[in-house]
Amino acid sequence: MYPNSEGEKGLTQEELAKRSGVSLRTIQRIEKGQTHPNQFTHKQLSEALNANINNLKVKPTQKSDIELLKLMNISALSLILVPYGNIIFQSILLYKNRNKIRFYSIGKRIFSFQILWTLTTSFILLVSAFWQVEITRILGSKSFPVLLMIYGIATLVNCVVIVSQQRKLFKNKILIYTFTPSIF
């Protein structure tokens, strides 16, 4: 949480919670990097520690939520090389970072979009297999790659969505995939 603040003052988390009026759970979540203190909490903790609020710094987490969201979003492009890679890699990232509340809540929307895209594309490909037979019958002996064409278009649409959402993340905007219903 705050560098050496408890060590300098000799306070336990419980004593700091009692002295500051901030809940013990909030202090624990701040120290674990699961949340950042809002302005009021930051002020309460600095007063409890008799420290200048401007000198009291929060330790940065290993990777910021935005960086993890960028990684999660761009990992969906793995579907180009690895079938269902968009689901596999994102599920691993989401699971490993499930304790980071802000990342997890936004990450679920990214993951929901990829699951919905994968299910929709799989269904369309299944149905288009029947179209393939009919188109081949109509064209005679000429083969027309319906499945490949549909998969290519669906993948292109997914890539365009991923890149557009990634651009928002590079501008530090976290309102991404707002059009996606959550399936969790």
Instruction: Say if residue 95 is in the same domain as residue 37.
Output: no
Question: Which of 66-70, 146-150, 158-162 has the lowest average pLDDT?
Answer: 146-150
Domain membership flag for residue 178: no
Domain co-membership, 155 together with 79: yes
Residues 86, 113 within the same domain: yes
Q: Where does 61-158 show beta strands of DSSP type E?
A: none
Residues composing the chain: 184
| Full residue range of the structural domain in which residue 112 is found | 65-170
pLDDT for res 141: 64
CB-CB contact of 168 with 74 (8 Å)? no
pLDDT band for position 135 (cuts 50, 70, 90): confident
Integer Cα distance of 177 and 175 in angstroms: 7
Residue 149 in any domain: the answer is yes
Is residue 179 pLDDT above 50, yes or no? yes
Q: Are residues 82 and 22 in the same domain?
A: no
Asked whether residue 10 is assigned to any structural domain, the reply reads yes
Q: Do 43 and 69 belong together in one domain?
A: no
pTM above 0.75, yes or no: no
**CA–CA dist 6, 16 (Å, integer):** 8
Share of the chain above pLDDT 70, in %: 83
Does the residue 106 lie in any domain? yes
Looking at the structure, tell me whether residues 102 and 74 fall in a common domain.
yes
Strand locations in 53-135, DSSP E?
none
Whether residue 37 is contained in a domain is answered as: yes
Asked whether residue 24 is assigned to any structural domain, the reply reads: yes
Mean pLDDT of 130-153: 79
Residue 176 lies in a domain: no
Same domain, 164 and 83: yes
Query: CA 108, CA 91: separation in Å to the nearest integer?
Result: 9
Q: What percentage of residues in the chain have a pLDDT greater than 90?
A: 39
Claim to verify: residue 14 and residue 101 sit in the same structural domain: no
**Within 13 Å and on the Cβ side, how many CA atoms surround 136?**
12
83 alpha-carbon distance from chain centroid: 21
Q: State both tokens at 183.
A: 């399936």
Q: Which residues contact 178 (CB under 8 A, 6 or more apart)?
A: 109
- For the chain, the domain total comes to 2
Beta strands in the chain (DSSP E): none
User: Comparing C-alpha atoms, which of 71, 63, 78, 157 is closest to residue 110?
Assistant: 71
94-114 per-position pLDDT tens digit: 999 888 877 888 899 999 999
Mean pLDDT (whole number) for 113-124 = 95
- Residue 116 sits in the same domain as residue 152: yes
- Classify residue 184: in a domain, yes or no: no
User: Using CA atoms, how far apart are residues 63 and 72, in angstroms rounded to an integer?
Assistant: 12
- Is 122 in the same domain as 83? yes
- DSSP SS3 for 27: helix
CA distance 146 to 150: 6
Lowest mean pLDDT, pick from 101-110, 128-137, 149-158: 128-137
Q: 39 with 69, same domain? A: no
